[in-house]
A and B are shown apart, each in its own frame.
With several copies, the nearest count.
Chain A
């Protein structure tokens, strides 16, 4: 029963983070596929939001390269401006949002802006887009990232998208609610734990060890006492995924 790719597992793990009826910024590629799986399984009434000004009750049926592509406009729930859709974050209506990043740190802060000093960066990344807004204002932030030591770092060089900032109540002090609820990687799922809101190893994907995950993490990754093995995709989940990913892009 290992007939799934690691990307398929990440998609299904992401889908499980979406609850029925929720409003979710679903981004592109992996998360939008996860949204599709969630809709076809346990969350038929989840709504997908896109920063360009689109809301949908179901993913587009044709392949998308960007959120604004014609198939994402056709039969959408709403095609409008960025502000009416993205302001639902600041209005407090958005339950969850997916973002990726070049770096994520011990407290779930995400960097998509600068590697090195922002005044003289070693690498200039593309920037926030809507990620800072989604991270600051959704009730739960979901971070998708490949598990590499250079990506899961002790402290990001630049907080594009706030997680728990310096941990503890520093996020609340900054005026924010919510916060990261999961970092979903190709090895594991990390979740915040304790009053310090530090990201802990919460769920381990089949075939990987705690030691391997710790080694590939740039901070001293602690393990939750109640750590589980990530449940493998169910037949229903895989069927839903294959219905969406007919061409086997994620296989």
Chain B
């Protein structure tokens, strides 16, 4: 097997190229790969189509930093605060750079990523019949169910095949094999759909740890392009069994990003003026340490013995 371990900086530089489509946050509220978001901003990568059903403030940051001119998603904002100010400005403020939105519901974007993952030509759904999302998103197509007697309406959702998916896991080995537990949103579909997968692991473990529980594998290493050791990669979003959510941090971001000037100041302080994710963690200091999960609620033992 080939070792795929890379510093985050190198993985982003190598796989997230300008004008590509990138899944950043497919677990919904947890496991948002903010460390990758920040690194993309630091490297000034432009023209991204950011794909995420819900990714808390990550997409808002990328818009504000000018990295992203397309969004494919179901909800963009700040789960603590509500609206995402940069996102709003992109639509409401004639002075702001415009963002093209590929509008979705959670289920329709999930079906689009599933279709991409499974090589389906498209996914027929009923779930957003009646919604104007089919008007604001012309990628979707109205059709009739050919198996129905009564010309039942259905919506055809085209597949999403992202250039890159960045996924956050609890642990991985140097070959990119990894374990994820807790709710997973559409991150497995996103990873299977994408051309390249970058894994951000809270911990790097011996290959035997991953191999000991192959049903816990989110996406096998042979489909992974790079694995990066990035503890607290999801901060300020939570990670099951590892990190609590930093509500205050989200709140501060929401307050400070209310104005363009406030956002720029925040950006300088927390991203541009910070060397890398390690420095970001150091700057957070005890605020981060207080979020570390230290309790123990272990899964029941599970035996894979063959004889």
Interface residues of A (CB under 8 A from B): 23, 45, 47, 50-55, 57, 60, 62, 65-84, 86-93, 113-114, 118, 121-133, 135-137, 158-162, 165, 171, 174-176
Contacts and interface: CB of A to CB of B under 8 A. Distances in A.
5 contacts: A62-B307, A66-B56, A69-B306, A70-B241, A165-B130
B235 interface: no
> Helix, strand, loop or mixed for chain A's interface?
loop
Contacts of B185: 52-53, 68, 81-82
A126 B28 contact: no
B227 to A, nearest CB: 14
A81 B189 contact: yes
Interface in B100-153: 103-108, 110-111, 114, 116-120, 125-133, 135-136, 152-153
A87 B245 contact: no
B75 interface: yes
Interface string B177-211: 10001111110110011000000000000001001
A227 to B, nearest CB: 28
B183 A160 contact: no
A159 B130 contact: yes
B274 interface: no
Contact of B27 (A68, A75, A174): A68
B220 A78 contact: yes
Contacts of B245: 65-66, 69-70
Nearest to B215: A79
B119 A91 contact: yes
Nearest to B30: A68
Contacts of A133: 105-108, 127-128
Contacts of A161: 131
Contact of A160 (B84, B132, B153, B212): B132
Given A93-B223, A126-B76, 15 more contacts: A45-B2, A52-B27, A53-B185, A69-B244, A75-B304, A77-B220, A78-B217, A80-B217, A89-B107, A118-B135, A124-B90, A127-B104, A158-B136, A160-B132, A165-B130
Contact of B305 (A45, A74, A137): A74
B106 A130 contact: yes
Nearest to B56: A66
Given A79-B181, A82-B53, A121-B92, A70 B118 contact: no
Given A86-B110, A136-B129, A176-B130, A70 B92 contact: no
Interface string B63-95: 000000000011111011011100110111000
Most buried by B among A45, A52, A127, A130: A127
Given A70-B244, A137-B126, A129 B293 contact: no
Given A77-B220, A83-B186, A133-B127, A70 B214 contact: no
Contacts of B43: none
A89 B125 CA distance: 11
A92 to B, nearest CB: 6
A52 B240 CA distance: 13
Contact of A83 (B152, B189, B222): B189
B133 A160 contact: yes
Nearest to A70: B306
Given A55-B222, A128-B106, A136 B29 contact: no
A68 B130 contact: no
A71 B29 CA distance: 13
Contact of A123 (B2, B88, B184): B88
B18 to A, nearest CB: 25
B158 interface: no
A90 B75 contact: no
